[in-house]
Amino acid sequence: MAASEKIAVLTGAGISTESGIPDFRGPNGVWTTRPEAMKLVNIEDYVRDPQVRIQAWQERMRHPAWTAKPNEGHRALVELERRGTLLALMTQNIDRLHQAAGSQKVIELHGTIWLAKCLSCGRRTRMQEQLERVTAGDPDPVCTECGGIQKSATVAFGEQLDPLVLETAVVASSACDLFLAIGTSLSVQPAALLAAEAHRRGARLVIVNQGETPLDDRADVILRAPIGVVLPVIIPGSKSDSEDQSPPGAAPAT
Ligand code: ZN
């Protein structure tokens, strides 16, 4: 980490579970405990069935992102950016906890729940604005410009990723000298592709994840400990200055 000058970071649900946001496929994941919730994130069902949309708006009202706070893992990555060695912070998360922690170079691969978008004209509005309409009694608020169906500005199953966002992520992954995959099972695209591309281009691959990933055999280092514990240790300077970072036997700094 200390020797790397161009670090690309990819984070998944695992970094936010420590902030109280459940993941999807884990033992306590949203889709594990409530498989029916998966239907709410399929674009075909969403467009076809008003009941799915009404339920989806209710889910958005209750989403833990509105009250969640960033944790030590998010904060450690801010330090990486401050040091100037961060090429890009790519995330599969839609909760904006990286930004809440202070990160600026965030690439939101799967969009954000903090914005709503119209599926017809593409107009984006603040999610809170739309949720206020739901609270006021409109169970499925349509676009005020064109009357189109609206949803969160996140990438549902069956939707395309923003091509510009994907391009930026691919460029960063190709150019990095270290690829840090955090809290992601690397089982969906483009996550797996980005990590594989970085490895193919000669970058070191470090995986911090509780479970196994399909790229484990290509990783230089795999860390299975909790993210909020691991990141402050492996990112130099992200712990407070009073804590001694020197390895045993190291010469004191002069
Ligand atoms: Zn519209």
Instruction: Answer yes or no: 110 catalytic.
Output: yes
What are the beta bridge partners of residue 7?
86, 178
d(CA 203, CA 4): 10
Instruction: Tell me, in angstroms, the distance from the centre of ligand 1 to residue 47's CA.
Output: 14
Model confidence at 251, pLDDT cuts 50, 70, 90, reads very low
Q: Within 10 Å of residue 162's Cβ, how many Cβ atoms?
A: 17
Residue 117 Cα to ligand 1 middle (Å) = 8
Q: How many domains does the chain have?
A: 1
Q: Which of 249 and 13 is assigned the larger pLDDT?
A: 13
150 CA distance to ligand 1 centroid (A)? Answer: 8
In a domain, 247, yes or no: no
206-233 burial string, b = 16+ CB within 10 Å, else e?
bbbbbeebebeeebeebbeebbbebbbe
Residues with CB under 5 A from ligand 1 (ion): 118, 120-121, 123, 143, 145-146, 148
Which tens digit of pLDDT belongs to each residue from 51-89? Answer: 999 999 999 999 999 999 999 999 999 999 999 999 999
Q: How far is the CA of 60 from the centre of ligand 1 (A)?
A: 19
With a cut of 50, say whether residue 253 has pLDDT above it. Answer: no
Compute the mean pLDDT over every residue in the chain, rounded to the nearest whole number: 91
Question: Is residue 242 domain-resident?
Answer: no
More confident residue, 74 or 254: 74
Is 187 domain-assigned? Answer: yes
pTM for the structure as a whole: 0.89
Instruction: Specify if 249 maps to a domain.
Output: no
Q: What is the CATH number of the domain that holds 33?
A: 3.40.50.1220
Q: 149: pLDDT confidence band, cut at 50, 70 and 90?
A: very high
By residue range, what is the domain housing residue 42?
7-234
